[in-house]
Amino acid sequence: MATTNVRKKIAIVAGGDSSEHDVSLRSAAGILSFIDKEKYDAEIVELHGADLQTLNRLVHYDYAYITIHGTPGENGLLQGYLDMMHIPYSCCGVLPAALTFNKYACNHYLKGFGVAIADSILLRRKDDLSGIEDRVEQELKLPCFIKSNVGGSSFGCTKVKTREQILPAIERAFEEGPEVICEAYMKGIEITCGVYKTAHKAVAFPITEVVTRREFFDYAAKYNGEVDEITPARIPDEIRDRVQALTLKIYDILGCHGIIRTDYILIENSASAGGYDIYLLEINTTPGMTATSFIPQQVRAAGLDIKDVLTDIIEG
C-alpha cells in the first residue's frame, strides 16, 4: 500500500462487456478530469471481458474507482475479484451490486420495505411466450415498457403502444440479456436523486427533473441532447425532502457505498403528502460521470466541488 508521503495510485476501471462500454469510457474520462491530481496519481484501466492480464495489473494500484456500466463492474463480479485481492474500491460490494443490477429482484425486495414500484412481469429466455400479449394487456395495460432486466442506458428498451409491438420488443430486450421486464407505464414527473455517505456524513444532492422531447428517456435523449435536465427539480420542497430521505433510506437498506443515483416517477395524488406519490424506477450504483451527467450537475447545483466529492469517496 502507499506510504504516508506517496500519492495513492488510483485505477479508474472502465469498459466492460455490455452495450454501455463506450459510455463507461466517457465516464472514466470525466472522473480522470475531476480527480484531485495533487493527492492522487490516477489513470484509466480499460477492461475487456475476462481479461486476466488487465485484472492482474490492478494489484499495483492502491484503489479502484469502478466506472463500468453493466457487467462486470455493476453486477458484483469485479467487486468479488477486488475483495479477494484486498483492493479497496469506490462502489457497492458484491451483494448490493448484484441485487441492484437485477432491476426486478431489487425493486421487489425494496417493495417489502414500503417502497412503491410499478406492476411488472418477469420473463426468461426459456419461458413459453404463447399468450404473452394477453397477459401484458390484462395485467399491465398499454402502453407499457419492455426492457432488459440487467441493461442500462435504455439499450433494448421499448415503449410499447400496440399488441403487435409486444413480441418484437421482447425479442429486442432479450438481445441485451437473459431476462426481460414488461412494466406498467406510469405517467408523471421523472426525477433522479444522487446521494453518498461516509463514516461522518450523509450527502443528498439536489434533485434533477428529466423532461424529454422523445417518447421516453431513451439512449438518444440521454446522449444526443434531446432532453431538458432541470436541477434543482421544479417540485415542492416537501417532495424534495421525501425523495432525498427515501434515497438515503434505500442506500442503508441495500448496504451501498460510494455514490448511487436513484430514479423515480412522481405521480399526482392530492391525498398524498406534497401532492405526489413517489414510485421507484431503478438504482444506479455506478452512475454516469461525464461533465454533463446527472451527478456532476447535482454536485454543481449543491455548490460543491466534484473534486472534493471524489476525495470523500476515495478516503471514505
Task: Find where cell 401484458 sits.
Answer: 136
At 236-266, the pLDDT tens digits run: 999 999 999 999 999 999 999 999 999 999 9
Question: Exposed, middle or buried, 284 (CB in 10 Å: 0-12/13-18/19+)?
Answer: buried
- The answer, yes or no, to whether residue 87 has pLDDT greater than 50, is yes
- The answer, yes or no, to whether residue 180 has pLDDT greater than 70, is yes
- β-pairing, 202-204 vs 208-212, is unpaired
Give the whole-number percent of the chain exceeding pLDDT 70.
Answer: 93
Query: Which amino acid is it at 14?
Result: A
At 181-199, the pLDDT tens digits run: 999 999 999 999 999 999 9
Q: What pTM value is reported for the model?
A: 0.91
Nearest 5°: the CA angle 120, 121, 124 is 140
At 115-145, the pLDDT tens digits run: 999 999 999 999 999 999 999 999 999 999 9
Model confidence band, residue 5 (pLDDT cutoffs 50, 70, 90):
low
